[in-house]
Amino acid sequence: MGDSSFPSGGSHQGEPTRAPTNTSRSCGGSSRTCCWQYRQLSALHRASRPRPTRPDKARRRAARPSKALIYRIRVRHGGRKRPVPTGAIYGKSVHHGVNQLQFARSLQLVAEGCAGRHCGALRVLNSYWVGEDSTYKFFEVILIDPLHKAIRRNPDTQRITKAVHERREMQGLTSAGRKSRGLGKGHKCHRTVCGSRRAAWRRRSTLQLHRYC
C-alpha cells in the first residue's frame, strides 16, 4: 500500500485548495468549484493528492495514522425509496409508503458502508464531510490496511486489526455510527448510559430488591 500520510503543506494541481465550511449556503467560491470537480469524477474514487481535503479533520478522526488511504464518495440527498418493483405494494395498505422514507442510517454512514464494501481488504477508520450541493453530499473516508506492519505496531490503530473490527462501519463503531446510536458524553447522551438505548431502558425499568441492605 502506498504511503498516504498527512503532510503539513503543499497542494496538487486540479484539487481544491480550500476546505469548504459545513453550511450549504456559504458554499461559494472555491467550495462551489470543489463540488463541481467532485461531480465530474466517479461516485467513489481515491483522492488523487497525498493529503486529504481537510487535514485538520483527518488528523482528529484518524489519530494521525502513519499509513492511510483516502477515498472520496458522494451520496445523494433526500429520502429513500422502498425497494418494491414499480411501487407495487401487493396487498399492503394504500398508505404503506414508497417514496420519501426516512432512512435509518445517516448519509455519512451510507458513504462509509459503500467505501468499506468496495475496499473489502481494508478497514474503515473514520470519515468526515467535505462538501455538498443541491443534489449530493461528499465525504472522505479514511481506510487502513490491517495487515500493514506500521498499522499493527501502532498502539493507536492496532486494535482495528482484530477480526471483530471487520466491517466495523456496519457495526456502528465509527464516529458517525456512535453518534447515530446515541453514544457519547454529556446530557445529550443520557439515554444510552449503559451502552445502548435498550440497556439504559432495562436499567431504568428493572426493580431490584436486595435481600440485605
- With vertex at residue 76, the alpha carbon angle to CA 70 and CA 81, rounded to the nearest 5 degrees, is 135
CA-to-CA distance for 2 and 149, rounded, in angstroms? Answer: 13
- Band of residue 98 on the pLDDT scale cut at 50, 70, 90: confident
Q: At residue 67, does pLDDT exceed 70?
A: yes
**130-137 mean pLDDT:** 92
CA-to-CA distance for 6 and 177, rounded, in angstroms? Answer: 24
Predicted TM-score of the model (pTM): 0.74
Which option is the CATH number for 30-180: 3.10.20.30, 3.40.50.970, 3.40.50.180, 3.40.1120.10? 3.40.1120.10
- In three-state secondary structure terms, 73 is strand
- Band of residue 50 on the pLDDT scale cut at 50, 70, 90: low
- Band of residue 64 on the pLDDT scale cut at 50, 70, 90: low
CA-to-CA distance for 109 and 115, rounded, in angstroms? Answer: 10
Per-residue pLDDT tens digits for 195-211: 888 888 998 899 988 88
CA-to-CA distance for 54 and 17, rounded, in angstroms? Answer: 9
**Cβ-contact 180, 112 below 8 angstroms:** no
- In three-state secondary structure terms, 102 is coil
Per-residue pLDDT tens digits for 166-197: 999 999 999 999 888 888 888 888 888 878 88
Domain with CATH 3.40.1120.10 in the chain: 30-180
**Cβ-contact 22, 129 below 8 angstroms:** yes
> In this structure, what DSSP letter does residue 87 have?
G
Per-residue pLDDT tens digits for 137-157: 999 999 999 999 988 998 888
* Phi, psi (deg, nearest 5) at residue 123: -115, 135
C-alpha grid cell, residue 163? 477480526
- What is the distance in angstroms between the CA of the first residue and the CA of the last residue of the chain? 60
Which of the residue ranges 93-97, 161-165, 186-190 has the most confident prediction, judged by mean pLDDT? Answer: 161-165
**38-64 mean pLDDT:** 80
